[in-house]
Structure 1
Amino acid sequence: MGITIIGYIAGTLTTFASLPQLLKSLKERNMENISLAFVVTFTTGLTLWLIYGILRNDYPIIVFNILSLMFWIPITYLKIKDVLENKGSKSELIT
Structure 2
Amino acid sequence: MAIEFDMIGYIAGTLTTFASLPQLIKSLKTNDMSGVSLYFVVTFTLGLSLWLVYGILKNDYPIIIFNIISLMFWIPITYLKIRDELERS
Q: TM-score when scaled to structure 2? A: 0.96
Query: In the alignment, which of 48, 51, 76 is matched to residue 49 of structure 1?
Result: 51
Structure 1: state its 5+ residue gaps: 90-95
Q: CA RMSD in A?
A: 0.7
TM-aligned CA deviation for residue 85 of structure 1: 1.1
How many residues align structurally? 87
> 1:19-44 CA deviation, whole Å, 9 max, x = no partner?
00000000000000000000000000
Structure 2: state its 5+ residue gaps: none
Partner of 1:31: 33
Partner of 1:85: 87
Identity of paired residues, percent? Answer: 75
Q: TM-score when scaled to structure 1? A: 0.90
* Off by >4 Å, runs of 4+ in structure 1: none
